[in-house]
Structures are given as C-alpha cells and as structure tokens.
Amino acid sequence: MVINKMKRITLIAMSIVSVVVLILVSFSTVVGYQTVQSTNQNTINEEVDGATITFDMDESNVHMATLAGDRTLAVTNVDAGQRFMIRLTQDVTGSRTVTWWNNISWSDGGTEPTLTTTGGQTDLFGFLCTSGNYYDGFVCGQDI
C-alpha cells in the first residue's frame, strides 16, 4: 500500500514537472519570436520617393518619406495587430497630395485627413491593422 502511494505521488510530481517544462518552453519560444521580429522594426525607414511609395512593415514600424509630387501610398507585410507610423514631409514646393491605400477607417468621423501644404512641413500618421487588410488610421500631428 505504501509502495502504491509512493508511485502515485511520483507520477503526480512527474506530471506537474512536465506541464511546467511545457509552459516554460512555450514562453521562451514566444519571447524569442518577439525579440527576432521586433529587432528591425525599431528603426526609422526612409523611403525612396516615387509615383507609388510602398511601406514594408517587415523593414520597420516607423517610416518617413519626402513628397516631391502627388503620390500613391501602399503598405506590405502587415500583420493583424501591428501598429505603425508614417511621417510625410512636403518638399520645398509643397501642396503635394497622397492617395491612401484601401480599407482605412480614419478617426475623427472617418474623414480622410488633408495634408499640410506648406513646403518643408511634416504630418505624422499612426495605424493599427485590425485584421487582414483593414486599418484604423489616426492623425498624430500636422504642420510639424
């Protein structure tokens, strides 16, 4: 009877240790993934100006571009739940406009923001990818 009781205690202890090890291994895997994923997303990526400016979220979560003409903006490699910022600066001429990518729900009543038109001035926008290719868009600052 004492031997059976000891076997049960040993079995229970081994089960508890196994569960703890599984939890720790799972946690370290998640932490390791976040560390690898976020290392190159902490830099400010300066985009090359062109007719279409594509912001690659695998490169960074913070992007900036100087607009030398009216531009179309696009994003790529965005994951649901990802937050990112885009900083747009007018060239010295100013009055440049942008066409935003689809499926942005803008704060402040859903109205797409108008860029600052003064040459050399900057507007900052924040985004949250809510799912798939859908985004919440926010004006963080204008005429900076």
pLDDT confidence tier of residue 33, bands split at 50, 70 and 90 = very low
Q: What are the respective helix, strand and coil percentages of the chain, to the nearest 5? A: 25, 35, 40
Domain borders along the chain are 1-39, 42-141
DSSP 10-31: HHHHHHHHHHHHHHHHHHHHHH
Residues of 48-57 as b/e, b for ≥16 C-beta within 10 angstroms?
eeeeebebeb
d(CA 139, CA 90): 16
Mean of pLDDT values over 99-110: 95
Mean of pLDDT values over 51-78: 97
pTM, 2 dp: 0.73
Topology adopted by domain 42-141: Jelly Rolls (2.60.120)
| 11-20, 23-32, 34-43: range with highest mean pLDDT | 34-43
